[in-house]
């Protein structure tokens, strides 16, 4: 074998190794880009669901407070305190209903209530109805006699349970747990590959 042939073979081998290394790093770069896209999508989703969960946590706290307000005897509180506690909860629940429209806009808004402002056209979704019903239960809660609030407590517990169930459908913690496990498996596979 002459020197020219040897140089050609070595050059071809180097070119082949270079191509293989380049292909390997291109593949790794592509995998990394795909993984980055997945992380960005997950981050966006988590930010949205994080805001939804924060809103839900606040609503749930207010509803629990309303339930337990029924256990207080207005006669054992300073005059007007029970009324003010009830009023404060109503104000806060009212705001949470409207804030909830950012996550759960009304349905059938093109055909129902077209004379109303845009955010209020259509029908409220069930999750917001549960808060509205809690608001209405507070509205008729007796601020002078605890015994008259036994039925309100039953209604409020029912509203709270409906709200929790509706939010759980949206947040779907079981699915999120599975997605997180899958994501971690993908990350592990990336580092192994």
Q: pLDDT (tens digit, 0 to 9) for every residue of the chain, 193 residues total?
A: 788 888 888 888 888 888 888 888 888 888 888 877 877 877 777 888 889 999 999 999 999 999 999 999 999 999 999 999 999 999 999 999 999 999 999 888 778 888 888 888 889 899 999 999 999 999 999 999 999 999 999 999 999 999 999 999 988 877 766 666 666 666 565 555 5
Residue 51, pLDDT score: 92
- In angstroms, the CA 63 to CA 165 distance is 14
Q: Taking the CA of residue 32 as centre, how many other CA atoms within 13 Å lie in the half-sphere pointing to its CB?
A: 7
- In angstroms, the CA 180 to CA 4 distance is 58
Residue 109, pLDDT score: 79
Residue 137, pLDDT score: 97
Both tokens of residue 184?
């971690």
Both tokens of residue 141?
């809660």
Region for 107 from its dihedrals, namely left if φ exceeds 0, alpha if ψ lies in -120 to 50, beta otherwise? beta
Residue 182, pLDDT score: 67
Residue 5, pLDDT score: 85
- In angstroms, the CA 15 to CA 192 distance is 27
């Amino acid at each position: 074998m002459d020197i020219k042939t040897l140089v050609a073979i070595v050059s071809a081998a180097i070119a082949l190794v270079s191509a293989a290394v380049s292909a390997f790093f291109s593949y790794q770069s592509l995998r990394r880009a795909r993984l980055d896209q997945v992380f960005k999508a997950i981050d966006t989703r988590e930010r949205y669901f994080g805001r939804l969960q924060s809103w839900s946590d606040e609503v749930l706290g207010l509803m629990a407070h309303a339930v337990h307000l029924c256990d207080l005897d207005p006669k054992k509180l300073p005059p007007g305190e029970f009324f003010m506690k009830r009023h404060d909860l109503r104000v806060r629940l009212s705001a949470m209903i409207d804030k909830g429209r950012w996550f759960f806009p009304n349905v059938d808004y093109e055909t129902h209530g077209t004379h109303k402002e845009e955010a209020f056209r259509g029908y409220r979704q069930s999750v917001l109805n549960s808060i509205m019903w809690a608001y209405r239960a507070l509205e008729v809660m007796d601020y002078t006699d605890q015994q008259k609030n036994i039925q309100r407590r039953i209604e409020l517990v029912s509203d709270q349970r409906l709200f929790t169930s509706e939010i759980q459908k949206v947040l779907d913690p079981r699915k999120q747990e599975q997605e997180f496990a899958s994501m971690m498996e993908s990350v592990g596979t990336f580092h192994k590959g």
